[in-house]
Structure 1
């Protein structure tokens, strides 16, 4: 058996595709990571070989917060699929600029081209400046999630039904039939992120996967339990992915020194600007909590609170923490790295085999 499919409930691994310049930390520290296609195709092959199941492309329409250049997510995802044979690539989609009919058609075509290896991540929107620049209305927090909810309902309908009719507040379809439909059945996987109540409710009713920001196992458990309770009431199944920035080094001291260096070289202005934007987006939720409500300056140096998951240390420490995340209900770890290609390779050689060993030990105990 291959190391990444040793048993059915093995924790899965994804990585952030650096299709946006500036890497995964808002810092002026050197990053041997590049946003070019050549670098990313090499990285995709490295990740596939290392035992990663998924790659997640990012969607940005305008520059900001250290990301000067951005390749578009759907076309870039397709290029990565051409370079690989097993890896699943998730294209980030932003309701507003994208219409569900266009996404449904694009993704169905790519699903045929890639033999069923495309998925999507529906991003409800946190960057107000982007919507304003595009002349798109910036909806209130819960309205953005309500739009995403309809967006996902529409996609599922188009992908699974003929003569699809839908009458929503944001989208309408009249006897629409997509042909051919995707290869994947019932449809390509739909991921969605967020930490607010609206995000959790959306995941608990329509999404296949829910991505949450980095956090401690205790805090993640509370979120996951809430989602799974709601999902069960909706007769729905959802799987959970957590964001984590990984710093795996031979010693804990080395790993902690890298973290300190990243924070020491933080691009202060960009971090504050990013923090203001995302907190504005989250505070607008009725409960006043979004993805970044409790994030400190240090947390915000890595988009999506990746340091808080604490996958920073030796391969053994990191493997143990990953298995602990699994024990609170995490199904997938979404990773970011400083120097992607070399660190993904190291992770595949040094960390992943330990995770699989620990999983098998736990399985044996249960059996």
Structure 2
């Protein structure tokens, strides 16, 4: 509990903002806007920026910048911000990505990370002529993908791996990623809600990202992932990130009214199309615990269930929820906003100071708890 809660933000590198709604969003997907936003974010308490990956127009995201190139550009435009690039196994070879990350890591002085996305949008894979694996096979491939990355980045001499999806032999990476104290290799993030995702989170990933969840839903995921971690050979303990869409306003009514307007102005055809695609993916798991399997229409207006985390209200109310999630195992909150530039500044000025005050109170009150 002594370690400060970390904050990341969703990079708006695709058009349409972070909600599928016709409400005004003073956010732009272009580089100049995002360059300024990244600089603002690192000066307002954000440690990470996650560039999302879309390859073609879908569900309101009519234009999109590729995540690895965009992440590197933002890393070069900042001094401290860590940039997380989303990547798909099946579209990247792990050995090629390992080389790309090593170079980008040197260019950013050790600030490059990856988010391994097993894939949910079948239409993108088939449009590019790529095979589409069933749900659990996609996660089994991701498991190998992550293990290959780690083997290449940490092995002494030629890396070796023989699996069902990937095989490498005597692969010697030079230069290796930057030697950052406390970091055995560039950080590997991975998300998902399914049983297979939770297994990967506990056994091979550095960070497990959760879609938006209420308190009990998040605690249930943390407990299961930690159960898998107990029997895994890990270089470091697994850490947890939680998605949330933040609407911080001076008054609670103003914040709730904003949420109501977002949902009332939802782009219904886009949300319905997204729901059809993602709930098919979630329900494709044997136990029906996949991503978005139980998401409502209102949840999917923010396409990672960010409203469920309920970071909506006054700075004091939001700080209280953030601290409770920290108590339940969250090491990082991944945030989206309606008007990114203004609201990131508001977060740094109004919300973050209260979070830090409450963290100090929590550490004094519960010194026996440790960060998972």
SS where residue 353 of structure 1 aligns? helix
Residue in structure 1 matching 2:166, options 167, 171, 174: 171
Aligned alpha-carbon RMSD (Å): 1.0
Alignment of 1:61-80 (within 5 A): 61-80=55-74
Indicate the residue corresponding to 1:45 in structure 2: 39
Q: Distance in 1 between matches of 2:77 and 2:347?
A: 21
Q: Distance in 1 between matches of 2:242 and 2:252?
A: 22
Alignment of 1:210-289 (within 5 A): 210-236=208-234, 237-289=237-289
Indicate the residue corresponding to 2:195 in structure 1: 197
| CA positional deviation for 1:322 | 0.2
Indicate the residue corresponding to 1:350 in structure 2: 350
| CA positional deviation for 1:363 | 1.1
| CA positional deviation for 1:175 | 0.7
Residue in structure 1 matching 2:24, options 7, 27, 30: 30
Residue in structure 1 matching 2:111, options 105, 113, 117: 117
Matched, 1:56 2:50: yes
Alignment of 1:127-146 (within 5 A): 127-146=121-140
| CA positional deviation for 1:8 | 4.9
Indicate the residue corresponding to 2:370 in structure 1: none
Indicate the residue corresponding to 1:101 in structure 2: 95
State whether residues 44 and 349 of structure 2, in contact with CA within 8 Å, keep that contact through their aligned partners in structure 1: yes
State whether residues 190 and 209 of structure 2, in contact with CA within 8 Å, keep that contact through their aligned partners in structure 1: yes
Indicate the residue corresponding to 1:4 in structure 2: none
Q: TM-score, normalised by structure 2?
A: 0.96
Q: TM-score, normalised by structure 1?
A: 0.97
Structure 1 residues 277-307: Cα deviation after superposition (integer angstroms, max 9, x where no partner): 1111111111122110111000000011000
Indicate the residue corresponding to 1:126 in structure 2: 120
| CA positional deviation for 1:366 | 2.8
Q: Distance in 2 between matches of 1:43 and 1:285?
A: 38
Q: Distance in 2 between matches of 1:101 and 1:230?
A: 26
Q: Distance in 2 between matches of 1:163 and 1:218?
A: 45
Indicate the residue corresponding to 1:294 in structure 2: 294
Q: Distance in 1 between matches of 2:228 and 2:154?
A: 24
Structure 2, gaps ≥5 residues long:
368-372
Structure 1 residues 71-108: Cα deviation after superposition (integer angstroms, max 9, x where no partner): 01111001101111000000001111111111101110
SS where residue 304 of structure 1 aligns? coil
Q: 1:77 to 1:8 in 2, by over 3 A?
A: farther
Q: Distance in 2 between matches of 1:125 and 1:53?
A: 26
| CA positional deviation for 1:10 | 1.0
Indicate the residue corresponding to 1:3 in structure 2: none
Structure 1, gaps ≥5 residues long:
1-6
Indicate the residue corresponding to 2:5 in structure 1: 11
SS where residue 233 of structure 1 aligns? coil
Residue in structure 1 matching 2:75, options 65, 76, 81: 81
Q: Distance in 2 between matches of 1:317 and 1:260?
A: 18
Matched, 1:306 2:271: no
Of stretches 229-238 and 264-273 in structure 1, the one that deviates more from structure 2 is: 229-238
Residue in structure 1 matching 2:145, options 128, 151, 159: 151
Q: Distance in 1 between matches of 2:88 and 2:2?
A: 32
Superposed structure 1 runs of 4+ greater than 3 Å apart: none
Q: Distance in 2 between matches of 1:215 and 1:176?
A: 41
State whether residues 2 and 363 of structure 2, in contact with CA within 8 Å, keep that contact through their aligned partners in structure 1: no
Structure 1 residues 326-362: Cα deviation after superposition (integer angstroms, max 9, x where no partner): 0111110000000000000000110001000000011
